[in-house]
Amino acid sequence: MLVSDFAYYLPEELIAQHPVEPRDQSRLLLLDRQTGRIEHKQFFNLPQFLQPGDTLVFNDTRVIPARLLGVKPETGGKIEVFLLNRTTKDEWEVLVKPGKRAKPGTVIEFGSALRCEVVSATEFGGRIVRFDYQGIFEEILDVLGETPLPPYIKARLTDKERYQTVYARERGSAAAPTAGLHFTRGLMEKLRAMGVNLAFVTLHVGLGTFRPVAVENITDHVMHKEYYSVPAATAMVVNNTLAAGNRVIAVGTTAVRTLETAGGNGRLEPGSGWTEIFIYPGYKFNIVKAMITNFHLPQSTLLMLISALAGRENIFNAYREAVDKRYRFFSFGDAMFII
C-alpha cells in the first residue's frame, strides 16, 4: 500500500484558521462505515446518534507551551527547541531548528532562568537535552514557552485555551487532540444525563502523531513512541461496555491508538507505557467500534487510521463530499462521526 494512495485535493481556503464559536457549532459529517451512507449535521446534534450505555473515551492530555526560543551564549545564534517527550525529571526529547547548530555539548539559553545542554542525538533527528533552572520547571515554561500551533494555521490565536479541550488535565502534549475541541461542558453534561458514559485516557501527542510519512510503502513507516496511560476506572467502564454489547466510541485518533494499544486482546488493561502502534487498512480493531474525528492532512498516518476503521473508499467518498460541501479542515475544522 503506497502513501500516494492517501493523497487528495484540498483547496487551501478550506483549511480552518479560526475555531468556531461556540465549540459545538461546528459541522458534523456522519459516515456509516458499513453502508457508506453520509449525513450532514451540526456537532450539537451528536446526542441524537448516541444511546444509553455507549461509552465515549476522551484523551485528557493538555498542551504545554512546548516551543522555546533560545540562543547560543557564545555566538548569539538563535535556536528553536520544541519539547516532545519528558524522559527524566530534567531531560527531554526535543526537536531543534536549525539542527546543525545543536551538536552534543551545545548550551542553549532561554533567559536567565532557563538553559539546556544537548546530551545526544536521536534516531528520528531530534535531540536529548538536559535543562538547568532555578525554581519549578513548569512555571518557568509557562512564562518562557509558546503554545505551538500547526504550521498550516497562519492566524494568531488570541485565546490560548481555545487550543485546549475543555477537559484537558494532564500536561504533556505538543499538540491538541483536536477531535475533542468540539465538546462543550454543557454538551458533555447532556450526554451524561442521557446515560452515555464519559471515560478518559491520556496520550501525550508528540512526533508519532504528526510526523509525515517519508517512505513510499506505508508498511515501511516507523511510528515514534508516545506516552499513554489508562486509568483503572476507564478500563472497567470500557470492559463493561463491551460485555454489554454496547459501543466504545473513541474521541480522536489518539484515543483510538491508546485503546488499541492497551486492548490488544479485546479487553482493555489499565496501566501506562509507550505506544508505537501504527494503524492502517487491514488492521483488526479490538476495542473501538466507532469514532469522532476531524478531517486530516493528505498522506498522514491519521488519514490511514480512519481508513482502517471505515474503509479507504468510504473515507475518500466522504472527503470528496466534504470538500464539495465546503467543510472546514484540520485542527480548527469540522468533525466526522464514523459509526
What confidence score (pLDDT) does residue 55 get? 98
CB 333 within 8 A of CB 26: yes
CB 127 within 8 A of CB 120: yes
* Residue-wise burial string across 138-148, b where 16 or more C-beta atoms lie within 10 A, e elsewhere: eebbeebbebb
Contacts of 243 (CB under 8 A, 6+ apart): none
Give domain limits for the chain. 3-63+158-338, 67-144
What confidence score (pLDDT) does residue 295 get? 98
Residue 249 CB neighbour total at 10 angstroms: 24
What confidence score (pLDDT) does residue 327 get? 98
**Which residue from 309, 226, 248, 238 is spatially nearest to 268, judged by alpha carbons?**
238
* pTM, two decimal places: 0.94
Q: Quick check: bond before 19 cis, omega within 30?
A: no
Q: What are 311-338's pLDDT values in tens digits?
A: 999 999 999 999 999 999 999 999 999 9
What confidence score (pLDDT) does residue 157 get? 86
CA dihedral 122, 60, 23, 155 (to 10 degrees): -20
C-alpha cell at 214: 517519508
Distance from C-alpha of 321 to C-alpha of 316, rounded to nearest angstrom: 9
Q: What are 100-151's pLDDT values in tens digits?
A: 889 999 999 998 999 999 999 998 889 999 999 999 999 999 999 998 888 8
- In the sheet with 38-42, reading across from the earlier edge strand, the strands are 38-42, 27-31, 335-338, 290-294, 248-251, 55-59, 197-203, 226-230, 271-275
Domain over 67-144 is classified CATH 3.40.47.10: no
CB 62 within 8 A of CB 173: yes
Largest separation between any pair of C-alpha atoms in the chain = 64
Residue with cell 473508499: 313
Percentage of the chain modeled with pLDDT above 90: 89
Q: Quick check: bond before 22 cis, omega within 30?
A: yes
Indicate the pLDDT class of residue 208, thresholds 50, 70 and 90.
Answer: low
Q: What are 37-83's pLDDT values in tens digits?
A: 999 999 999 999 999 999 999 999 999 999 999 999 989 999 999 99
Distance from C-alpha of 103 to C-alpha of 121, rounded to nearest angstrom: 8
**How high does pLDDT run on average in the chain?**
95
Percentage of the chain modeled with pLDDT above 70: 99
Helices (H) and strands (E) in the chain, counts: 7, 17
CB 275 within 8 A of CB 257: yes
Q: What are 9-44's pLDDT values in tens digits?
A: 999 999 999 999 999 999 999 999 999 999 999 999
Name the H helices within 65-218.
Answer: 137-144, 185-193, 207-210
| Topology match between the domains 3-63+158-338 and 67-144 | no
**Which residue from 332, 251, 315, 266 is spatially nearest to 33, judged by alpha carbons?**
315
CB 12 within 8 A of CB 313: no
**Average pLDDT, stretch 266-273?**
97
Angle between helices 312-324 and 301-310 (to 10 degrees): 110
Q: Which CATH class name applies to 3-63+158-338?
A: alpha beta
